[in-house]
Amino acid sequence: MKRILALIAALPALLLPVAAYAQVQAPAAADASAIPGALDRAFGSLGGTDGPGMSLSLQLLLIMGLLTILPSLILMMTSFTRILVVLAILRQAIGLQQSPPNQVLIGLSLFLSLFVMAPTLEAVNANAIAPYSADQINAEQAIDAAGKEFHKFMIRQTRERDLMMFANMAKAPKFQTSADVPFSILLPAFVTSELKTAFQIGFMLFLPFLVIDIVVSSVLMSLGMMMMSPMIVSLPFKLLLFVMVDGWSLLMGSLASSFG
């Protein structure tokens, strides 16, 4: 149990330390012997069966640290950002202020993200968590394997232009393969690409509802009913349109398939 808690607490380290270790491993060959096993020693000899375990205070500290960084991991390394932004834009396009409420949108985004990320999570379990639980690999190897799986997902969804922009800002050398891109460059490029894609999808969602608003506003003006708000009249028509085309099924399917 202590090993599992320590592994969970160490997973946030795959953001930058894993990539940093991969970058400095070649030029810093002299210090390479001091790096392996560092995480195991820090978390109570995770790589072996002997050695003292973590104290209760250290376990609580690691768990609290994980809970602090977990929202950032969900937002920046998964499909959560794109889905949530698209759903928020859809609610704004229809003209609804609090329906569906924020809790429903966040929950829907979370479970749809789990559906999209299922292949990646299964690969993480097969290549990192299961071997680590069976004492086949140590904590460092488990974190490195998990980081590679998330790296594959993120690099597929990231635009090359965004990667080049952040690589030029960091003055990084030219990467031979996509696997050579460090997390310090991939993370901001991935988030930027996700936001751009979400706004593109949101723009396409806005168009049909905008047409309804324009038509209703023109009809009201031609009838001389300028005191009545067009939003009040157009809202039922927009809801009717969204329901008639089975909008939720179309939207969920389109969002899920956009990560293919």
What per-residue confidence (pLDDT) applies to 44?
47
Domain count across the chain: 1
**How far apart (Å, rounded) are the C-alpha atoms in residues 148 and 166?**
20
What per-residue confidence (pLDDT) applies to 131?
86
Residue 153 has which token pair?
């997902």
Candidates 139, 189, 141, 145; CA nearest to 164 is: 189
Cβ atoms < 10 Å from Cβ of 158: 23
- Cβ(215)–Cβ(209) under 8 Å? no
Domain that holds residue 40: 2-257
**How far apart (Å, rounded) are the C-alpha atoms in residues 86 and 257?**
14
Which of the pair, 39 or 144, is modelled with greater confidence?
A: 144
What per-residue confidence (pLDDT) applies to 196?
93
Report the percent of the chain where pLDDT is more than 70: 78
Q: For 200-224, write each residue's pLDDT tens digit.
A: 999 998 898 888 888 888 888 887 7
Give mean pLDDT, residues 51-80.
Answer: 76
- Cβ(217)–Cβ(230) under 8 Å? yes
Q: For 161-171, write each residue's pLDDT tens digit.
A: 998 899 889 88
Helices then strands (H, E): number in the chain?
13, 0
**How far apart (Å, rounded) are the C-alpha atoms in residues 129 and 6?**
12
